[in-house]
Chains A and B, each alone.
Chain A
Amino acid sequence: MPIDPHELEAELSAYLDGELSPEQAQRVEDWLAQSEDARRQLEELRAVSAGLAALPRLRTPTQLTSTVIRDVERELLVGEPTRRHWGPLLRLWTGISAAAAALLLCTFVGWQMLTPKPATGPITPAPSPSSDLSPIATKSFQTLGYLPAPGGGRGRMAPAPTVALQSEAADEGIDVAGADAVREDLAIVAELTPSSEGQVLLGAPLAAAVDVEQPVIDVTVTADRPETIAALGELFVTWAAETAADTADMAQPLAEQSYEFAISELDVRLSELAAEAPQQVWVEVCAPNGDQHAPLQVGRDAQQQDVQHLAFLYPTPEERYRSGAPVRGGRPFGQKAPPPGSGFAGDPEVAHGFPVRSSTPASAPAETRDDKLDSVDRRTPTRAEEAARREPAHHRGFLDAEANRLTRRELSERHRAVTEEPVIVFVDPPAPAESRPAPATADVRATTQSATTRAAGSSPTSSPSGDASYDSGEAATRDMLDLILRSMHAQRARVGGDITQTAQPVDEFVQVRIRVVPSPVADETPASLPAD
């Protein structure tokens, strides 16, 4: 058998670790028998490995259990407002002894008395603090001992802590303020600590108390190569580092993570996904209500396969200049301006560093889109949108003419001149169009259908499924974001003004649950346009 030293060299470590099959090991041994250099390499690798193994092993300086439990308590009291997964913690909290509960209430009342703001309701007298005022931390182990059995269902959402506190205290025979009083205290804390969604200093416990549920967007990324999945895993680790660390659930596999993103940053995140994916991947976005899918196609290969779409995505620089669109960047999603002071405000190029489609598509009927957006989005339109609204026909006509006049090669070159970066293209999912779930509402359907019809008619030179699915895909994405915004507003309305209205939301946050799945058929990554 011929021996390739380079190939065998890469096997040396695995040989050292006993991770080769007998045949592979035999080949390495044959090589070792022949080559002095191979034996030297093996010995060096063995020395490195043995040196690492001989490094001193550190032992934890203290018993960690007590500090972990103390952390639990501390975070429950002054936790990050963005925490989400509180099931076991809340169970722990409900297990906090009556003394701790009384102390907790005192703390609330202390807050209440310190605040200059008028209370929203009658202040219930504080319960007298328990004589045992030792720090909660010292009670950690005892606290754990009081952990109640988890009753019936083990849902993610624990019972509202206020109620739990009350019943716990009642069980202990201690007279504490009722749940209503606690709720009022929480409302005051909410006023003091404005943040998104009325999440306040106490974080999720308050959310549980007032039954605020964060909308969840399911994003499924389909990739057919393990490297792609690994590369995206790296991106997700970075996301975890960039967003509040606690929002990403490190206990889940990298390929199944949840992040909390502001709606205004969703498009940036998807752009990053496109940039990181070493190949084309399919991204399916599912609105919170679960029946509105928006398929996207992202990744580096997308630019080769969807060159005609790119002509639409990337008009010439002059045309961008004339239309007032940003030269690069834009907001294809949500159409929300970044909140002032957020990391993404300012120059869109700096903010995104990435070409994404910028203008409102002329494809949707103007009235429908405006009606829909007006109900949820009070933002000032960008110059690009204003231009598109004033002269949609001209705008669109120019682009269509351009797309039809140029050959694919020219388009491709022009695109390359504009950007070398990966792109996001909105296309149909690989599944047949009939199998897609019906849009949720009538106006959504109208928008999607009209976009499909109009786009199909306007691009006779492309494949029947090409441009049509492109536009409907994008329309579906926009519709999805409309739905998200609407559902969030509805939720806020349901919770009522007593708590959340006083808190000024800085941005709309959604929980984005990302799942990376291998493509069922590796070789059939669908192309939206036929090859030349």
Chain B
Amino acid sequence: MNRAAHEREPADDELVRRARGGEPSAFVELVSRYQDRVYNTCYRMCHREADALDLTQATFLKALEALDRYEGRASFYTWLFRIAVNLAISDRRKKQRRREVSVDAPNHERRINDPPAPPAAEDGSHAAERSELQVRLAAALDQLDEEFRVAVVLKDIEDMDYATIAEILEVPVGTVKSRIHRARTTLRGLLTEHVENEDAD
């Protein structure tokens, strides 16, 4: 929640108010303020840059549509991330369902304990990771179930506190805590398993 950077700039709520009043530059400002963070989060949720871009656009479109109904109960930032996260999860499930229907290859029944899949460079994913370890970590992250992944992405990548994550995901703080812990232990397991497999080879 790096608000310090915006100290001299109008607060989010002020911009929302102005955007609702028909001032387009205010919404433009909100988009520029958050587009990178939303995009990065979406990328970590879907792991494809093209999809992440679509999701980010959809998020702001939704936000614009729903601006009249934003009540200010949550901060704009929380509200925006809730839109993004819900869209990302929903999109991923839609794609999974499509895959389940259309693909009957034996290896699509990958379980959480399987070693991370080798990065599929040709599909444009995994392009952002710079080192071998990062590639593995990103691939392992991609294997987590959505609810665990989103929790750990918001915590470790977006550096949000538990209360904010709880508000975005609409779950109790205790749930956030256990999901983050489970996500990290699962990631640890996936990474060490991979190393052990390599050692065995």
Is B65's CB under 8 angstroms from A89's CB? Answer: yes
Is B147's CB under 8 angstroms from A234's CB? Answer: yes
Could you tell me the distance between the alpha carbons of A150 and B22 in the complex, rounded to whole angstroms? 6
A91-B22 contact in complex given A226-B171, A230-B170, C-beta closer than 8 Å = yes
Chain A's interface size range is: 35 or more
Could you tell me the distance between the alpha carbons of A200 and B82 in the complex, rounded to whole angstroms? 30
Could you tell me the distance between the alpha carbons of A16 and B67 in the complex, rounded to whole angstroms? 37
Is A88's CB under 8 angstroms from B28's CB? Answer: no
Instruction: From A60-68, A161-169, A446-454, give the one contacting chain B.
Output: A60-68
Is A250's CB under 8 angstroms from B31's CB? Answer: no
Contacting residues, chain B, for A253 (C-beta < 8 A): 82, 170
Asked if A255 is at the interface of the complex by the 8 Å CB criterion, the answer is: yes
- Chain B residues 56 to 84 lying within 8 A of chain A, measured CB to CB, are 56-57, 60-70, 79, 82-83
A64-B60 contact in complex given A12-B181, A49-B184, A251-B66, C-beta closer than 8 Å = yes
Could you tell me the distance between the alpha carbons of A253 and B129 in the complex, rounded to whole angstroms? 33
Instruction: From B102-110, B113-121, B154-162, give the one contacting chain A.
Output: B154-162
Is B86's CB under 8 angstroms from A52's CB? Answer: no
Main secondary structure of the interface of A (DSSP, over half): helix
Contacts between chains A and B (CB distance < 8 A), count: 193
Contacting residues, chain B, for A75 (C-beta < 8 A): 61
Could you tell me the distance between the alpha carbons of A467 and B189 in the complex, rounded to whole angstroms? 54
Is B175's CB under 8 angstroms from A144's CB? Answer: no
Could you tell me the distance between the alpha carbons of A144 and B177 in the complex, rounded to whole angstroms? 43
- Per-position binary interface string of chain A over residues 93-134, scored 1 when its CB falls under 8 Å from any chain B CB and 0 otherwise: 001000000000000000000000000000000000000000
Is B31's CB under 8 angstroms from A230's CB? Answer: no
Contacting residue for A64 out of B20, B57, B68, B133, CB 8 A: B57
Could you tell me the distance between the alpha carbons of A241 and B86 in the complex, rounded to whole angstroms? 10
Could you tell me the distance between the alpha carbons of A234 and B161 in the complex, rounded to whole angstroms? 22
- What 3 A-B pairs are tightest by C-beta distance, nearest first? A144-B24, A251-B66, A52-B156
What are 14 A-B contacts with C-beta separation under 8 Å? A17-B155, A45-B184, A48-B184, A58-B36, A58-B39, A58-B128, A59-B39, A60-B53, A61-B49, A72-B64, A87-B65, A91-B22, A226-B171, A241-B97
Q: Which positions in A face B, CB cutoff 8 Å?
A: 10, 12-14, 17, 19, 44-45, 47-49, 51-61, 63-65, 67-68, 71-72, 75, 85-89, 91-92, 95, 141, 144-145, 147-150, 154, 156, 226-227, 229-230, 233-234, 237-238, 240-241, 245, 248-255
